[in-house]
């Protein structure tokens, strides 16, 4: 279609289009998604587009997909390297990166729960002992600090929305 048929005031208004990347939840699915994104990064490199900006100006996700989306957003200035870094995490992922399951940690956690269950609210209130989970998940917190360095987000030029649920 040429613009010759239109008067200047009748030209169709072109609105910018954006490609969004939406990543669903599920640990295995999130690992698979990163493999697909790594294939996209390989294609970008083969086509000579590795230096081009992030191809997804809108990134969103749910659950494990939200973790990947957050990590991608934090590294949006170097899409291909960020994808490869996240893939490396998924390839080497193991349970000890999520929780402590060694004997000492399990005994410590078990003792907290037994104290709470046997002596109840009295000791919990006095000692402020309020275990939230059976296993210590502090390794996951450390992994997320490395994987999702929030200080790298291009604030305030980027709109950023988070929604977290525990349902």
pLDDT tens digit at each of 167 positions of the chain: 555 665 666 666 777 788 899 999 888 899 999 999 999 999 999 999 988 888 998 898 998 999 999 999 888 889 999 999 999 999 998 888 888 878 888 888 778 777 777 766 566 566 665 666 777 888 988 998 989 888 887 665 555 555 555 55
- Taking the model in full, what pTM does it have? 0.71
Give exposure, 121-143, as e/b (b: 16+ Cβ within 10 Å): eeebeeeeeeeeeeebeebbeeb
- Residue 87 CB neighbours (<10 A): 17
Per-residue confidence (pLDDT) for residue 123, from 0 to 100 = 61
From the list 97, 31, 67, the residue with the least C-alpha distance to 164 is 67
From the list 44, 80, 39, 73, the residue with the least C-alpha distance to 59 is 73
């Amino acid at each position: 279609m040429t613009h010759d048929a239109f008067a200047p005031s009748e030209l169709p208004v072109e609105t910018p289009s954006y490609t969004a990347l939406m990543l669903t939840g599920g640990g295995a699915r999130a690992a698979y998604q990163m493999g697909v994104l790594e294939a996209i990064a390989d294609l970008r490199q083969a086509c000579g587009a590795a230096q081009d900006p992030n191809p997804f100006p809108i990134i969103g996700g749910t659950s494990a997909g939200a973790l990947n989306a957050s990590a991608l957003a934090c590294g949006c200035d170097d899409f291909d390297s960020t994808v490869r870094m996240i893939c490396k995490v998924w390839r080497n992922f193991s349970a000890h990166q999520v929780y402590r399951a060694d004997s000492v940690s399990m005994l410590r956690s078990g003792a907290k729960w037994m104290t709470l269950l046997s002596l109840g609210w009295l000791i919990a209130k006095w000692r402020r002992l309020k275990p939230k989970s059976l296993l210590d998940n502090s390794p996951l917190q450390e992994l997320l600090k490395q994987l999702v360095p929030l200080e790298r987000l291009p604030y305030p030029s980027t709109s950023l929305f988070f929604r977290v649920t525990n349902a």
